[in-house]
Amino acid sequence: MRFLALTLALTPFAAVALWQNSFDDHVKKLQDAQSLSMTLTTSVIGGTTEDVRVTLSKPNLMRIDSSAQLITTNGKQIWIYDKSGKTYEDSPVDAGSPASVWLQENAWVYTAFFNEKLGDQIASATKGNSRKLRNVAVTDWTITRKDKAVLLVQMDDQLGVVRGFRTTKDKAEVFVFAKELKIGDTPIAESEFVFVAPAGVTKKEAGAPAGGAALTFADIKPILDANCIGCHSGGGAKKGVVLSSYQEVAKHVTPGDPDSSRMIRPVKRGMMPPGRPLPADTVAKLEAWVKAGAKP
Ligand code: HEC
């Protein structure tokens, strides 16, 4: 008898919860969560598939583990471990939150976890069909952001949180699906986000300006690839500044004189990349390269 009463009492609530399932639920669930652990399967449309383990914890902790790289931050330091090269770099977090930036760039729908104001960025959310996707009951939503970007996402009907979304990565269209997703109501210890180098892994010393004379474009290209070319390559390059080849980069540097080099000035002032200044030792490396003659 008791069980029956309980069932009857619960049913209407469950029904209401399902019926009300909306994009606001997704935002609220992430805002209320203390930790979020996911395995994101990223599939290039018509191409390769890769799993990335993402662990987030409030207030600003993040760990991103893929086959090539491990990025982890405890909010004060950020470590980037190159698994095939068996080296890692660590730099202090001077300003901002690398965790928020990573989400913003790679998995915008989950930025609500760190950004309380995600709702302000959304102009409208329209519900579509319900269906099964990789064995999960989902409902399609079309989200239009205030910056006019339109996103198609799949909301997990049971969890009330987005499980799938389309985005672009290195100009390719990709579909991302959270094959595992766990929302935690207690934060994960900060110590879990501190990198401990495995045996045989060495620290890569940042290009000390003293070694500048030996620097060539091969040392600089990875910095530009990782931080600049997303906005500075191809026909849509911002301000026509293309930073994807030596020939193009050479147009914006004055060999021997970093301070009058167009490419260096905004970086040194912390203006580029926008909202995400480069660590001081990376800026020093770019400057040292120009100072030593901006060699190919
Ligand atoms: C998220 C996009 C984005 C990224 C990443 C980015 N930029 Fe920019 N960049 C812009 C935009 C937008 C402008 C135009 C700003 C303006 O109109 O004042 C710009 C302008 C510039 C300019 C021209 C400034 C001038 O003289 O008018 C330079 C040089 C530049 N960026 C260098 C870089 C470098 C170097 C990096 C990487 C370390 C970088 N940018 C990363 C968006 C970006």
Q: Over 50: is that where the pLDDT of 117 sits?
A: yes
Does residue 216 share a domain with residue 163?
Answer: no
Last residue of a domain, one of 136, 170, 193: 193
Task: Please work out whether the CB of residue 111 comes within 6 Å of at least one atom of ligand 1.
Answer: no
User: Quick check: CB of 236 below 6 Å from ligand 1?
Assistant: no
Confidence tier at 210 by pLDDT (50, 70, 90): very low
pLDDT at 4: 40
Residues 156 and 81 grouped into a single domain:
yes
Asked whether residue 172 falls in the same domain as residue 58, the answer is yes
Q: Is residue 146 part of a domain?
A: yes
Q: Atom 18 in ligand 1: which residue has the minimum CA distance?
A: 239
Residue 154 CA, chain-centre distance (Å), reads: 19
> Is residue 178 situated within a structural domain?
yes
Which segments within the chain are labelled E, that is strand? 35-44, 49-57, 61-65, 69-73, 77-82, 87-92, 122-133, 136-145, 150-156, 162-169, 172-184, 202-203
In this structure, are 44 and 180 located in the same domain?
A: yes
The residues that bridge with 175 in the sheet, in sequence order, are 43, 166
**Which amino acid residue places its CA nearest to atom 11 of ligand 1?**
238
**Structural domain contains residue 198:** no
pLDDT at 41 over 90: yes
273 lines ligand 1 (CB under 6 A): yes
Of the candidates 160, 193, 226, which is a domain's last residue? 193
| Residue 109 lies inside a defined structural domain of this protein | yes
Distance 272 CA to ligand 1 centre (A): 5
Which of 224, 227, 238 to probe ligand 1 with, by most ligand atoms within 8 A of CB?
Answer: 238
Whether residue 14 is contained in a domain is answered as no
Indicate whether 222 and 271 sit together in one domain.
Answer: yes
Checking if the pLDDT of 7 tops 50, the result is no
> What's the gap in Å between 287 CA and the centre of ligand 1?
17
Range of the domain at 267: 208-291
Q: Is the CB of 166 under 6 A from ligand 1?
A: no
Alpha carbon of 233 to ligand 1 centroid (Å): 11
Residues 52 and 179 in one domain: yes
- 175 CA from centroid of ligand 1 (Å): 28
First to last CA, the chain: 81
Q: Within a domain: residue 202?
A: no
Higher-confidence position of 45 and 158: 158
pTM: 0.60
- pLDDT-derived band at 265 (thresholds 50, 70, 90) equals very high
Predicted confidence at residue 146, as pLDDT, reads 87
Residue 289: pLDDT over 90: yes
Check whether 132 has a pLDDT greater than 50: yes
Backbone phi, psi, residue 168, to 5° = -120, 145
Q: Look at residue 19 and tell me whether its pLDDT is greater than 70.
A: no
Q: What is the pLDDT of residue 20?
A: 44
* pLDDT at position 6 over 50: no
The helix/strand/coil state of 203 is: strand
Same domain, yes or no, for 169 and 45? yes
Q: Is 270 in the pocket of ligand 1 (CB under 6 A)?
A: no
Residue nearest to atom 40 of ligand 1 (CA): 272
Show which of 164, 193, 222 is a domain's final residue: 193
Quote the CA–CA distance of 215 and 142 in Å, as a whole number.
48
What is the Å distance from ligand 1's center to 286 Cα? 15
AA identity, residue 278: L
Average pLDDT of the residues in 58-72: 93
> How many CB atoms sit inside 10 A of residue 236's CB?
8
Could you give phi then psi for residue 268, rounded to 5 degrees?
Answer: -65, -35
- Is there a single domain that holds both residue 182 and residue 216? no
Q: Is residue 8 part of a domain?
A: no
Domain count, the chain: 2
| Residue nearest to ligand 1 atom 26, measured at CA | 262
Q: Is 255 in the pocket of ligand 1 (CB under 6 A)?
A: no
Instruction: For residue 244, give Cα distances in angstroms to 142, 170, 216, 288.
Output: 34, 13, 15, 19
Same domain, 165 and 284: no
CATH number at residue 43: 2.50.20.10
Pocket residue to mutate for ligand 1, from 220, 223, 272, most atoms within 8 A of Cβ:
272
Asked if residue 245 and residue 178 are part of one domain, the reply reads: no
Judge if 281 and 148 occupy the same domain: no
Classify residue 143: in a domain, yes or no: yes
